[in-house]
């Protein structure tokens, strides 16, 4: 088992879609999956442009941290956010009885770099 600090990440980008809350049938916890559009750190050979990558992240409410609910309340499509979290891996048995090793990027903290209202104004062209 890894400690959260062993596999930590930081990320910054804009939300591709509005966050959507799912409720886990096993635990009853709220789960939010988001996708961030992020500039790839390296330029393309030839034309020198940067490429945008789309990376999925997951937030799960716990007894002590309602991160998924807060994320869904405070950000919208196009919001610029910074994330801190860790890479989490788990094993799942598929329908054929084989083990699948899966990985997810779990969000522990987020910072909204612009307000929800400012994001909506910017998207409407008012800013």
The pLDDT score that the predictor gives to residue 62 is: 86
Long-range contacts of residues 39-45, Cβ cutoff 8 Å, at least 24 apart: 39/13
- Here the tokens at position 38 are 């992020």
Mean pLDDT rounded to a whole number for the chain: 87
The pLDDT score that the predictor gives to residue 55 is: 94
Higher pLDDT, 6 or 118: 118
The pLDDT score that the predictor gives to residue 4 is: 52
- Here the tokens at position 22 are 């799912």
Residue 111 lies in domain? 4-123
d(CA 89, CA 93): 14
Average confidence (pLDDT) over 74-93: 91
Tally of domains within the chain: 1
The pLDDT score that the predictor gives to residue 1 is: 45
d(CA 96, CA 79): 40
Average confidence (pLDDT) over 7-15: 92
Closest by CA to 81, choosing from 118, 51, 47, is: 118
User: What CATH number is associated with residue 48?
Assistant: 2.40.50.140
């Amino acid at each position: 088992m890894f400690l959260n600090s062993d596999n930590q990440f930081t990320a910054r980008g804009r939300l591709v879609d509005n966050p959507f809350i799912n409720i886990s049938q096993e635990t009853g916890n709220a789960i939010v999956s988001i996708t961030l559009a992020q500039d790839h750190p390296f330029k393309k050979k030839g034309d020198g442009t940067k490429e945008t990558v789309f990376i999925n992240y997951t937030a799960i409410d716990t007894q002590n941290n309602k991160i998924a609910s807060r994320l869904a309340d405070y950000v919208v499509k196009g919001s610029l956010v910074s994330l801190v979290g860790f890479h989490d891996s788990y094993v799942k048995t598929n329908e054929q009885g084989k083990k699948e090793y899966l990985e997810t990027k779990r969000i522990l903290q987020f910072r909204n770099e612009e307000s929800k209202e400012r994001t909506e104004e910017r998207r409407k062209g008012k800013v």
